[in-house]
């Protein structure tokens, strides 16, 4: 297993729809193992393939939950069904998200409280489970990456302007920027 560099906002693969996984083979399982290793080294709760420069529809997660779902897993070619997203403004204390590809920054975002996840594991076996609360938030966040959407693309104007200002200050928004989990300082201070 290998820890891989994490792409930063501005890398083209992060901003386009990822392609379906068509073959469940040892190469895919090695990619999944590398993703788990990278997510662990980054102290992440989730990591989508585009975040390591791979334009494929899969993500890994690691989050203790109360939904009778394993704490760690992979979802390949996921389909999400969501409950209604509240139209209320996000609570800046309760609804704050961060992203390994927008490292070190946190912004409030409203998400659905429930989601149904369907897809496949790394061997091509069907998955079908429900998630609530923060676990549902994590799965929605990772799924968005597969459609070329970062959470900062979903922010209300007030926070969107702050995020874009911070991205500019950090020199992001151009191809080729990455950070290396376990080598570079942890942007979230874990």
User: Of the listed 11, 37, 105, 142, which one is catalytic?
Assistant: 142
Q: Where are the alpha helices (DSSP H) in the chain?
A: 26-41, 133-146, 157-170
Q: Tell me if 190 is assigned to a ligand binding site.
A: no
Which has the closest alpha carbon to 29: 58, 4, 71, 69?
A: 58
15 is an annotated ligand-binding site residue: no
Q: What is the three-class DSSP state of 108?
A: strand
User: Sign of dihedral through CA atoms 31, 116, 87, 96?
Assistant: negative
DSSP state of 68: S
- Residue 130 annotated to the active site: no
d(CA 47, CA 66): 20
Contact 13, 178 (CB under 8 A): no
Residue whose token pair is 């302007």: 161
A 10 A CB-CB count for 154 gives 19
* Residue that is written with structure tokens 């760690």 in the block: 72
Which residues are documented as binding site for Fe cation? 99, 141, 145
Q: Report the catalytic residues.
A: 142
């Amino acid at each position: 297993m290998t820890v891989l560099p994490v792409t930063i906002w501005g890398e083209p693969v992060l901003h386009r729809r990822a392609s379906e996984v068509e073959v469940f083979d040892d190469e895919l399982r090695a990619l999944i193992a590398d993703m788990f290793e990278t997510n662990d080294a980054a102290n992440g709760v989730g990591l989508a393939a585009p975040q390591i420069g791979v334009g494929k529809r899969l993500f890994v997660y690691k989050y203790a939950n109360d939904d009778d779902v394993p704490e760690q897993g992979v979802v390949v070619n996921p389909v999400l069904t969501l409950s209604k997203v509240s139209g209320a403004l996000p609570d800046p204390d309760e609804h704050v998200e961060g992203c390994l590809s927008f490292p070190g920054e946190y912004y409030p975002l409203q998400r659905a409280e429930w989601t149904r996840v369907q897809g496949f594991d790394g061997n091509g076996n069907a998955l079908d489970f429900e998630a609530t609360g923060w676990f549902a938030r994590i799965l929605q966040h990772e799924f968005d990456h597969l459609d070329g959407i970062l959470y900062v693309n979903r922010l209300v104007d007030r926070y969107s302007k702050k995020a874009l200002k911070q991205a500019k200050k950090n020199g992001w928004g151009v191809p080729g920027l990455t950070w290396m989990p376990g080598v570079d300082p942890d942007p979230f201070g874990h």
